Structure 1
Amino acid sequence: MPFIRHLLTLSLGAALLPVTALHAEELPAPIRKIEAKGAKIIGSFDAPSGLKGYAAQYQNRGMTLYLTADGQHVLLGNLYDADGKDLSAEPLQKLVYAPMSKEVWAKMQASNWIADGNKDAPRTVYLFSDPNCPYCNMFWEQARPWVNAGKVQLRHIMVGIIREDSPGKSAALLAAKDPQKTLADHEKAGKASTLKPLAKIPAAIQAKLDANMKLMEELELSATPAIFYLDDKGELQQQQGAPSPDKLLKILGPK
């Protein structure tokens, strides 16, 4: 999941020209050639030594292009100064990753999730969850002090990828009269859970599962739990698997 990994490491900043100020006819020919290969040119920025920088997005990844002073050649990759500072990080974060993270968060908000905790909790955490996932259950247990105290609401984006009956069990949770209670009972019971998969999944519920799976695939995720949260700077962060105690505090906040 390369784009998420970049989101974890880049910082905000830089004076940049947004894509709204760039028109296709104004892009230099070498940059247009890169665009024709499938890259989306997001914006431009100033670069040293006569170079002109362009931030681009390609298959959920950010990349920087540097047009040479003669306007005839393009360098692809990160640019470093004499002190070893990565001069490409800030433009990528500002123009590519920050907007992408907002888009991902909005998609998760609009996904088919089951709430776990107070709707007015000051912190929201999303996780892609499979009913047969032991690490999802472990994270559920880890989060109880925060959830029970009203500090965090977990939002379980239900998918079915681990076992053959996983889709049916996720469907049963989504179709329950009280999904929040049914999920709580299932997680509380652990291996002793009596949750039964739906033998026939209604079309409306199947559509919800399909949408969740499509989002998971878009984010290039392959395992559960995949946990998403906003850090103290409001930047999107991601954790794969049940977190360690120190990581848990970063995800859920202070007790």
Structure 2
Amino acid sequence: MKSILLASSGFISALSFASGDIPPVVKQFGEQQNITIVKEIDAPGGVKSWLGQYQDMGVTLFLTPDGKHVISGYLYDEKGKNISEEYFQKELYIPLGRKMWETLNNAHPLKEGAETAKRKVFVFADPFCPYCKAFWAKAQPWVEGGNVQLNTLLVAYLNPKSGRNATAILNAADPVAAWKAYELSNGKTLPKFEGTTSRETFDLLQHHQKLMDELGANATPAIYYMNDRNELQQVVGMPDEKQLLDMFGPKPE
């Protein structure tokens, strides 16, 4: 599992400095290197420093005393500890993860479990993903025990029929019940679907795929939850037993 760095420029802009607060040489360097300047940081030693993002990575920029040169790289202390990584986590990864968590909570997933459950878990799943089915089955004791709310965001890219099956489930009279029946039957029970995919359902599937891309996942199941420190965590693929306990808590007796 890992804490999340979001690649979406939409989330970065919410934390970015106004351009007037950045020295011209730093601003110019950032533009030339496609680095988004996020904020000035209080680095040790009195050196003027800025936190930025290049693609899906954090970067620290340091201004020389003459104000005419920029150094890009990592900052280490006398023991060899990477101080820059602490800035990335505190100022970039964690805040952006919390913003994405808000976005996930504003989505329209297939919800299983009580709204009052202590833990929420979001999973991007393809109807033809065998590991998604395995994860769903593993999660059921916690869901049925009232400890976890499982939120499934269907995506469609593993199989030419993924979109059709996802659409049939989403368009069912009770999509949650349809998804449960589909999983319990190992994909054999599917609501009858006739006609073409509605624009609303197509847009929903596209939105789910966009969210998954922004979170940096390229496989299913892609699972997200908040740990005890309120940090967004990601597990891609079938979790092992330790990861299941980390995301769900103690197994119900």
Asked whether the two chains share a fold, i.e. TM above 0.5, the reply is: yes
Partner of 2:100: 104
- Out of 230, 234, 240, the position equivalent to 2:236 is 240
Matches within 5 A, 1:20-31: 23-31=18-26
Aligned residues: 242
1:61-93, Cα deviation, whole Å (9 max, x unpaired): 322112222222222121111111111122222
Query: Is 1:83 matched with 2:79?
Result: yes
Partner of 2:156: 160
| TM-score using structure 1 length | 0.87
Q: 1:185 to 1:73 in 2, by over 3 A?
A: same
How far does residue 214 in structure 1 lie from its aligned partner after superposition?
1.6
* Structure with the larger RCO, 1 or 2 (CA within 8 Å, 6+ apart): 2
| TM-score using structure 2 length | 0.87
Partner of 2:119: 123
Note the residue ranges of structure 2 that are not aligned, 5 or more in a row: 6-13
User: What percentage of residue pairs aligned between the two structures are identical?
Assistant: 36
Q: Secondary structure at the match of 2:186?
A: helix
Q: 1:72 to 1:184 in 2, by over 3 A?
A: same
- Out of 126, 132, 135, the position equivalent to 2:128 is 132
User: In structure 2, how many angstroms separate the alpha carbons of the residues matched to 1:33 and 1:62?
Assistant: 18
How far does residue 112 in structure 1 lie from its aligned partner after superposition?
3.2
Q: 1:66 to 1:5 in 2, by over 3 A?
A: farther
User: In structure 2, how many angstroms separate the alpha carbons of the residues matched to 1:178 and 1:109?
Assistant: 20
User: In structure 1, how many angstroms separate the alpha carbons of the residues matched to 2:3 and 2:58?
Assistant: 8
- Out of 120, 138, 142, the position equivalent to 2:138 is 142
Q: 1:137 to 1:191 in 2, by over 3 A?
A: same
Note the residue ranges of structure 1 that are not aligned, 5 or more in a row: 9-17
Work out whether residues 168 and 192 of structure 2, in 8 Å CA contact, stay in contact via their aligned partners in 1.
yes
AA paired with 2:26? I
User: In structure 1, how many angstroms separate the alpha carbons of the residues matched to 2:173 and 2:187?
Assistant: 23
Partner of 2:29: 34
AA paired with 1:252? F
User: In structure 1, how many angstroms separate the alpha carbons of the residues matched to 2:151 and 2:21?
Assistant: 44
